[in-house]
Amino acid sequence: MSVERRLFFALALPAKLQKQVIKWRANNFPQDTGRPVTAVNLHITLAFLGEISELKTDALTRIAGRIQAQKFSLCLDDIGHWPGSGVVWIGTKRAPNALLQLASVLRSHAARNGCHQSTLPFHPHVSLYRSATRPVAIPPATPDWQLDAEEFSLYESTYKRGRTRYRCLQSWPLAD
Ligand code: 3AM
């Protein structure tokens, strides 16, 4: 029997940026805002694949290895709250084309391989809190961090004993 795993493509946040974000979050949001995402789990999702078989994983891994995408830098200068999904996030006011293209290519390959893709437009973001269903006072500004994306990765998401863990399975470099 084929084992299915819950997978997604994403950009990681470097450890230094993870620490900065966590510190800023602690200083700018009340403790009861929602369920804080742990530092190592901070990421920007590019394409969610869902629970997929080993066969499909192999196909998408091969495709990811053939994608030719450029490095880019991203300014994390936007903050928001989606009450429907309960997510408080930081994002960017101007998403670089290279990021939009990378997400679009990954999403269309995912769709072609039978991974249902949301019809909502891609909105690059780092989720800071989940289950934030009550109104949230949004800080007036982010510290304007820069994220230099040099690779993208495939992650496995597992949920055990009340904890979500993301494990990086493979990464692919972005070109100069
Ligand atoms: O942390 P973000 O919001 O970037 O919300 C989930 C998370 O994204 C999203 O995949 C990322 C890793 O878990 N996700 C979970 N279920 C999803 C679904 N059914 C989903 N995205 C789209 N459709």
Residues 87-122 pLDDT 10s: 999 999 999 999 999 999 999 999 999 999 999 999
Supply the pLDDT for residue 14. 97
pLDDT tens per residue, range 45-70 = 999 999 999 999 999 999 999 999 99
Average pLDDT score, the chain: 97
Give the pLDDT band of residue 142 (cuts 50, 70, 90).
confident
Q: Check whether 1 has a pLDDT greater than 70.
A: no
Nearest alpha carbon, ligand 1 atom 21? 48
ipTM of the complex: 0.90
* Ligand 1 centroid from CA 2, angstroms: 23
Give the pLDDT band of residue 141 (cuts 50, 70, 90).
confident
Give the chain's radius of gyration (CA, Å).
16
Q: What 3 state SS string does the chain have?
A: CCCCEEEEEEEECCHHHHHHHHHHHHHHCCHHHCEECCHHHCEEEEEEEEEECHHHHHHHHHHHHHCCCECEEEEECEEEEECCCCEEEEECCCCCHHHHHHHHHHHHHHHHCCCCCCCCCCCCEEEEEECCCCCCCCCCCCCCEEEEECEEEEEEEEEECCEEEEEEEEEEECEC
Give the pLDDT band of residue 2 (cuts 50, 70, 90).
confident
* Ligand 1 centroid from CA 48, angstroms: 6
Nearest alpha carbon, ligand 1 atom 22? 48
The predicted model scores a pTM of 0.96
User: Could you give the residue numbers annotated as active site?
Assistant: 43, 125
Pocket perturbation via mutation, ligand 1, pick of 18, 48, 118, 164 by most ligand atoms within 8 A of CB: 48
Nearest Cα to Cα of residue 40 among 157, 160, 136:
157
* Ligand 1 centroid from CA 120, angstroms: 12
Give the pLDDT band of residue 133 (cuts 50, 70, 90).
very high
* Ligand 1 centroid from CA 176, angstroms: 29
**Per-residue pLDDT averaged across 7-17, rounded?**
98
The closest-lying atom of ligand 1 relative to the alpha carbon of residue 45 is: 4
Residues with Cβ within 6 A of ligand 1? 8, 45, 48, 87, 118, 127, 157
